């Protein structure tokens, strides 16, 4: 095998809801043979459903390698772990109990192999949260909360990535009316810390600059429109500075993005879901991704949903999924480099003593 082949990262892929566009963008991504120069993809999906969609999308030239217990990976193939399911095809356009259960089982199998070090990172295709919760006994608000639990982590950071900026979110999938109660100095500081460490370790930025947004219109306008900024957010920023983190703000979100101020920072911390995801999706132009920072393993996903309205019509664009794969590869390599650099520093210090 070539030196390039030896360095290929093993990427596990959970299939998401197969009645949406997830499997379509997966297949379109790896129909480009050049992807196999960078990674060895392992898809967790029902073989019957995979065969059905390959035929529907006319992608029958894509080489599939069915994996057994030996996990024998080959060159230039999309590897398949056959997730047992009663589904034999996809009923495009809406989630069903069968598609929700398959999505959950795919996720469980993928995370199991990730924690057993069979794969180096995972990329998750979109799920339909409501059906997962009601039809598949999925007891989480979304992927982020599920992965926190599997990793034994109290908290992580939803980080939206585009070519223009990286936006972290303090609160994830909770109702808007609950956000204010979740904005505490302790929580904001914890998220700043996770973002700072991720920018350093996962993205190789030595001294990252972080912008912190306010919660209220005009960032509270000195308490006239809300006090979360002065009571909770600003103290977190000040404490971050005390431990040598370059954090600034809080900034009013509307003016911050309208003036392109995000370009002056390596990372941005938003207070709630839509405050971060709306500008991220507008800036990414359908190519953005979601990265779960702060975990012991690497997980990325495209920033779009199941898109049931176009499922099965061969209209889905694979740009965001492809970017999610690329980003997972780069983060794995960045973490390896960080480990090597840290080990060299420790070894040098040991020799000097």
pLDDT at 5: 46
pLDDT tens per residue across span 186-198 = 999 999 999 999 9
Q: Which residue ranges does the chain devote to CATH 3.40.718.10?
A: 1-153, 155-294
Structure tokens at 281: 């999706």
Confidence of residue 347 (pLDDT cuts 50, 70, 90): low
Q: Which residues contact 200 (CB under 8 A, 6 or more apart)?
A: 206, 208, 338
- Averaged pLDDT of the chain: 93
pLDDT tens per residue across span 267-286 = 999 999 999 999 999 998 87
pLDDT tens per residue across span 319-342 = 999 999 999 999 999 999 988 888
Confidence of residue 213 (pLDDT cuts 50, 70, 90): very high
Confidence of residue 344 (pLDDT cuts 50, 70, 90): low
Average pLDDT over residues 8-24: 97
Q: Which of 161, 167, 245, 249 is nearest to 206 (CA)?
A: 245
Whole-model pTM: value is: 0.91
Q: Which of 140, 149, 198 is nearest to 169 (CA)?
A: 198
Q: Which residues contact 231 (CB under 8 A, 6 or more apart)?
A: 185
Is the bond preceding residue 329 a cis peptide, omega within 30 degrees? Answer: no
Confidence of residue 1 (pLDDT cuts 50, 70, 90): very low
Residue of higher predicted confidence among 290 and 347:
290
Within 10 A of 154 (CB to CB), how many other CB atoms are there?
A: 9
Q: Is residue 134 within 8 Å of 22, Cβ to Cβ?
A: no
Q: Which residues contact 159 (CB under 8 A, 6 or more apart)?
A: 166, 167, 168, 169, 195, 198, 267, 290, 291, 292, 293
Q: Is residue 15 within 8 Å of 44, Cβ to Cβ?
A: yes
Following DSSP, what letter does each residue of 54-70 receive, concatenated?
Answer: HHHTT-TTS-EEE--TT
Top-level CATH class of 1-153?
alpha beta
How far does CA 296 lie from the centroid of its chain?
A: 13
pLDDT tens per residue across span 131-142 = 999 999 999 989
pLDDT at 112: 96
Confidence of residue 299 (pLDDT cuts 50, 70, 90): very high
pLDDT tens per residue across span 30-87 = 999 999 999 999 999 999 999 999 999 998 889 999 998 889 898 899 999 999 999 9
E strand or H helix at 195? helix 185-201
CATH fold of 155-294, please? Isopropylmalate Dehydrogenase (3.40.718)
- The burial class, CB within 10 Å (0-12 / 13-18 / 19+), for 142 is middle
CA 87 to CA 82: how far, in whole Å?
Answer: 12
Structure tokens at 135: 């039809």
- Please name the residue that has the structure tokens 């509307």: 254
CA 11 to CA 35: how far, in whole Å?
Answer: 11
Q: Which residues contact 182 (CB under 8 A, 6 or more apart)?
A: 170, 171, 174
Q: Which residues contact 18 (CB under 8 A, 6 or more apart)?
A: 45, 46, 49, 53, 87, 90, 99, 102, 103
Pairing of strands 166-169, 157-161: antiparallel
Confidence of residue 106 (pLDDT cuts 50, 70, 90): very high
pLDDT at 2: 38
């Amino acid at each position: 095998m070539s030196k390039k082949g030896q360095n290929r990262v093993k990427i596990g892929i959970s299939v998401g809801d197969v009645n949406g566009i997830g499997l379509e963008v997966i297949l379109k991504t790896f129909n480009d043979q050049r992807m196999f120069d960078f990674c060895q993809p392992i898809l967790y999906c029902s073989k019957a459903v995979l065969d059905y969609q390959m035929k529907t999308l006319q992608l029958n030239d894509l080489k599939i390698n069915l994996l057994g217990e030996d996990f024998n990976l080959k060159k230039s193939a999309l590897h398949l772990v056959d997730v047992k399911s009663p589904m034999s095809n996809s009923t495009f356009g809406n989630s069903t109990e069968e598609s929700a259960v398959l999505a959950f089982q795919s996720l469980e199998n993928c995370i199991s192999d990730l924690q057993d070090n069979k794969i180096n990172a995972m990329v998750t295709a979109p799920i339909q949260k409501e059906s997962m919760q009601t039809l598949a006994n999925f007891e989480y608000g979304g992927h982020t909360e599920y992965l926190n639990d599997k990793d034994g982590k109290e908290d992580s950071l939803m980080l939206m990535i585009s070519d223009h900026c990286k936006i972290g979110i303090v609160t994830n999938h909770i109702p808007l009316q609950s956000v204010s109660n979740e904005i505490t100095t302790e929580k904001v500081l914890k998220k700043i810390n996770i973002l700072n460490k991720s920018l350093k370790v996962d993205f190789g930025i030595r001294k990252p600059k972080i912008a912190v947004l306010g919660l209220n219109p005009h960032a509270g306008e000195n308490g006239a429109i809300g006090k979360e900024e002065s009571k909770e957010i600003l103290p977190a920023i000040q404490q971050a500075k005390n431990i040598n983190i370059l954090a600034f703000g809080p900034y009013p979100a509307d003016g911050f993005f309208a003036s392109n101020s995000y370009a002056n920072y390596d990372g941005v911390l938003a207070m709630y879901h839509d405050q971060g995801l709306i500008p991220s999706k507008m800036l990414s132009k359908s190519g953005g991704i979601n990265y779960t920072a702060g975990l012991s393993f690497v997980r990325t996903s495209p920033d779009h949903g199941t898109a049931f309205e176009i499922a099965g019509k061969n209209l889905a664009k694979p740009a965001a999924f492809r970017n999610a794969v690329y980003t997972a590869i780069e983060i794995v390599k960045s973490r390896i480099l960080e480990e090597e650099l840290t080990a060299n520093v420790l070894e040098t210090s040991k020799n000097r003593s």
